[in-house]
Amino acid sequence: MSAVLFAGGAASILAYIDTAVGVATFLMSERLPATVENIRSFFKREKRDPPPNFSPDEAQGLVALLIIDPDLLKDLSERVRKAIEAYRYCLRKAVRPQENDACDRRAERDICDTLNRIKSRNKGNLPTDILNNQWHSFGCVDV
């Protein structure tokens, strides 16, 4: 997988996790149920743009993602952020193609680990099309 494709995929995963944390915090502070309409109101009220490629139907996926504890989502978000930083550092230091390949494999492992954790805490499912696409793109397998 190319560095550009990986960075874009990792960034979209991070955007979804960060959005879910923000939505969960908003819903809990307002004592609102996790509905698609309340998630839409989060974006309006917070004047925040949805993640890239986000459609109104994706809001339903965020409802499913909110099954996961918000603090755990923050931890998973931090893991993804660190994986991206480590990947970028690795690519900067890589000189040979084999070193770039090793960077890709390590980053893929870290992203798949995080997606597996989300699946295991969400009834065995990834709740959005984008997360499912990333699962397949990175060649993840259930552990």
Q: How far is CA 121 from CA 2, 33, 88, in A?
A: 30, 19, 28
* Amino acid making up residue 56: P
Q: Both tokens of residue 94?
A: 């890589």
Higher local confidence (pLDDT), 102 or 30:
102
Distance CA 78, CA 103 (A): 19
Instruction: Give the angle subtended at the CA of 7 by the CAs of 5 and 10, to the nearest 5°.
Output: 105
* Amino acid making up residue 139: G
Per-residue pLDDT averaged across 26-48, rounded?
80
pTM for the model stands at 0.59
27: three-class secondary structure by DSSP: helix
pLDDT over 90 at 93, yes or no: yes
Per-residue pLDDT averaged across 88-117, rounded?
89
- What is the pLDDT at residue 9? 63
pLDDT over 60 at 4, yes or no: no
Q: Is there a contact between 80 and 17 (Cβ–Cβ < 8 Å)?
A: yes
> Tell me: the pLDDT tens digits for 117-132?
888 887 888 877 777 8
Instruction: Give the angle subtended at the CA of 22 by the CAs of 16 and 4, to the nearest 5°.
Output: 30
By C-alpha distance, which of 44, 111, 33 is closest to 67? 33
> Tell me: the pLDDT tens digits for 60-76?
666 666 677 777 877 87
Could you say which DSSP state residue 50 is in?
P
